[in-house]
Structures are given as C-alpha cells and as structure tokens.
Structure 1
C-alpha cells in the first residue's frame, strides 16, 4: 500500500530554522506590544485622571444602554438575515430559470454593495424622495440585506456539497422537492455549515458598530461620544478599550451559544438515526441485519 503526504518531514536544519524563526517572531511581537504599552504610559493614558470618569455609575448605565441597543439591532438583523438567506437560497436552488436568474442577480447585487453604503442610502438617501427612516431600522435593514445574501450562498453551498444520493433517496421514497429540501437537505446542510453561519453572525454583530455614522446610539457611538468629551479629559482610548472588551465578550458568548447548539444537535436522536441510515450496508454485517429488522418492523412482516 502506497501512502502520500502533502509535504516532506522537516530535517534537523529545517527544524532549527523554524525554531529560530518562531523565536524571532515572538520577540518582534513582544517588542511591538511593549512599545505600545510604553507609549500609553508615556502619554498618560493609564493615569488616574483619564480613568476617573469610569468611576461614575451613570457612565456604566449608559454603557449598558448602548450595549442593549447593539444587541437589539443584532437580534433583529440576525433573524432577518437567516430568513432572507433561506429564501434566497431556495430561489437559487430552483429548477425554474425565471426564478433562479433574478434571485441570483439580487444576491450578487446585495453582496457587492457595502453595508455602510446601504445604511447611508437608507438614512440619508430616502428622505430625498420623502421617506424617512429611523437610524435603528436603517442599521437593521442594511445588515439584513448584506448578511442575508452572504448566508444564502453559505446555505446553497452546503446543500450542493451533500452527496447526490441524499436527494435521489428522497425522490425514491416519493417525496416532493419541497419536502426533500426541508426534511433531507437543509438539516444536513445547516449542521455542516454551522461554523460558517455562526462566523457570519459574529460579523453581523460587529457590523452594528457602523451605525454610529448615522447616529444610532449603539456601543461605539457612545464610546466615541464619551471619548470626545473634553470635560473628562477626552478619554477616547479608554472608552475604546472598554467598548472593545464588551464586543469581545458578546462575540465569545455568541460563539459559546453556537457551540452548545451544535453539541446538542449532534446528540439529537434524529441525527443519530440519519447517521445510522447513511452507513454502508454490507452483506453479513450487523448494519444489514438492523436495516432488515427496521423494514420488517415497519411492514409487519418480521418473522421468527
């Protein structure tokens, strides 16, 4: 039996060279980090006067309100993007050209236009034609349009990556195409593409920060507002650091929720049954006996 590798194993010189390069990289990164910290100290960014404003409870209340505004926009945008992604994915997977082609153009256009341009058009462009929209809905609709188009491609790629036998097996037992998509293809595609979907939702969460440009009172907007306040010494760096910590905490919480959902999905009895049904059936194996027993139980023909 022949075996193939993607690359040759490094020899003694290559291992030594890699260790030297790794050590140099660590030294450079540590030096850059130390330089940034030193500049912060030298410019007084860690002085008590710069952090004094964060001893007021009212500031933390405002941070909490800004965080809730960020989560409110994200929640609506995430749900809307998932719904739009499924709708557009179904359209792109359609067998009818009069449905598939227009939907494909819509997806490409929505993916090509930046989120910030969407927000500016909705908030500043629509009033020109007599339509006014709040900053909240401008942020939410822009995020839904962009991330929904991206998620549609993720879902479509997940469906098309499944083995063709999955689709044919559904048709063989008499399912219509809608039922094949809903019962067979979509559940497997979503489980397979779950990490990519969660990554796109994290991008959606971070893109809510663009709302500060159209004066939506989210987390970055308040951090910028606080940082530009000369009465408190313009603590821009400090406010940005706290806002960054809150963003990181929200993204980690979202990733943990996705991990829990994926873990529970893998333990689901339905997933186990699907995995057992997809096992190759070989003559004389326990799998063949199990499938035969299932067929006998369903038809009532099981014999002694």
Structure 2
C-alpha cells in the first residue's frame, strides 16, 4: 500500500516526540493506578479472610466442580439455542426491512425498534408473570431463551442490515442480471459477503447474549451464575465462588474471540 493510500485511512496524525512522551506517561500512570487499586482490593480481601486457603479448598472437591460444570453446560446450552434462533430470525427481519414491500418493511422496523428498546429483564418478567395470566405457560428453559432470542434478534437485524447496506450495490445488481430473485440474491450473494465482514461484530453480540443468560435467576434457571450464588451462600464463600464463575465466563468469551479471529482470517 502506497503512502498516499495509507493517508486516506489515517484517522489522526502520528504524534511527535512530545506527544509520545505524554502518551507514555499517561499509560504508566494509568497502569500504576490500576495496580494500586488491585493491591488495595487484595489487601481488603486478605483482611476479611476471603483469600484464606480454606475458602478455596472446596473447589478441589469433585462434587463442587461437577455442580459448577453443570452450570457451565446449562449456560452454554442457553447461549447455543438462543444464538441458533436469534441469528436466522435477525437476518430474516433485516431482509424484510430491505425489501420493497412497505407493510412488511414497516412491521419489521416496528419489531426491531420495539425489542431493542424494551429491557430484557422486563421481557423476562412478562414471560414469568404476564403470559401465564393469559393462559400461556412455558417451561423454565424457554422462559429464559425466548426473551433472549426476541431481544437479540432485533439487534442482529440491525447488524445484518448495516452490513448489507455497506456492500457495493453492484453485487446485488449482478445477481439480478443473472436472473436471481430478490431473496435468491440476498441468500446466495449479498448475505454471505456481509457476514464475512460482520464476524467481529456478530461475535461481540454473541458475547452479550452469553451474558444475558446470567438473568436465569429471574426464572429460577440454574445457569452458571445462579449456581455460583447458591453455592456461595450455602458455604459462605460468596466472593471466591463468584471469582471462579467470572473466570469461567472469561475463558468462554476468550474462546469465542479466538474463534472469531480465525474465521475473520479465513474469510
């Protein structure tokens, strides 16, 4: 890439010597402040006995490990099922919003705007308390999954729509010139190219979907965080148990980010 080509994509000027010194100083101060806060937190935990070996010994026992692993499994199950439903639903809503049918386009827009605006917790309460009064009762698993699907599908629809609009219109025009219908062009030409560009954004939303599963306590679904809460309160080891649960979430999110990086490089 030539120097002129690089300048077209440069968002800000390269800092000079004084600017680099200021950036380095700000970085060092920020790192020092974070280290001091971490040391203070660890000192407070040690004062209250939260870092004592007895608080952590329980995590070497297989029944405790199995109890938490069952929570991990249920969290991954909710995430996989919700993602498997929300992704195609979101793509369908995006395609309808991009269609030439005005009534369908208006309905798709209303769906996206409504479920992006309504908090997920409110949807969960609607499925837990509202729908049973109308005679609609779902199993606990679906009381958690369906609201997650409805909320995330609305977000996915906006992601897909933005990705399609960002593509060169020549792609769809070329597909139409080959005799493809609108839906065929979208399914075979436009959407696959848009998805390749949207992999990082889609994975970021999947991470958010994973974190949405932690609201399982609302419907008494024993996912990882709810199991950590039950375990910590029973053994009076709330902090260590939550830290172990947080470590599990970090590992899962890291795996998702790694997978996203590989898919992006292959694309």
Report the TM-score when normalising by structure 1.
0.81
SS in 1 for 2:191: helix
Map 1:1-304 to 2 at 5 A: 6-229=11-234, 232=235, 234-264=236-266, 266=267
RMSD: 1.9
1:77-110 per-position Cα deviation (integer Å, ceiling 9, x unaligned): 0101012112111111110101101110011101
Q: What are the ranges of 5 or more consecutive residues in structure 2 without an aligned counterpart?
A: none
Deviation at 1:133, TM superposition (A): 2.0
Does the Cα contact within 8 Å between 1:123 and 1:134 map onto a contact in 2? no
* Counterpart contact for 2:199–2:263, Cα < 8 Å: no
| Partner SS for 2:221 | coil
Secondary structure of 1:181's aligned partner = helix
Q: In structure 2, the residue corresponding to 1:228 is in which secondary structure? A: helix
For 1:270, the equivalent position in structure 2 comes to none
1:212-248 deviations in whole A, cap 9, x for unaligned? 122111001111111112xx3x100000011011111
Whether the 8 Å CA contact 2:163–2:195 is kept in 1: the answer is: yes
Distance 1:239 1:105 in 2: 42
Preserved CA contact (<8 Å) 2:229 2:241: yes
Give the aligned length: 262
Task: Label 1:61 to 1:166 Cα distance change in 2 as closer, same or farther (>3 A).
Answer: same
Q: TM-score, normalised by structure 2?
A: 0.92
Matched residues in 1 for 2:109 and 2:227: separation?
39
Query: Structure 1: which 5+ runs fail to align?
Result: 267-304
- Cα distance in 1 for partners of 2:22, 2:264 equals 40
8 A Cα contact 2:141 2:221, kept in partner: yes
Q: Cα gap change, 1:54/1:9 in structure 2, threshold over 3 Å: closer, same or farther?
A: closer
Separation in structure 2 between the aligned mates of residue 110 and residue 237 of structure 1, nearest angstrom: 34
Bigger proportion of residues as helix: 2
- Alpha carbons 1:82, 1:151 under 8 Å: kept: yes
Query: CA–CA distance in 2 between the matches of 1:57 and 1:132?
Result: 36
User: How far apart in 1 are the matches of 2:98 and 2:147?
Assistant: 24
2: distance between equivalents of 1:127 and 1:6?
53
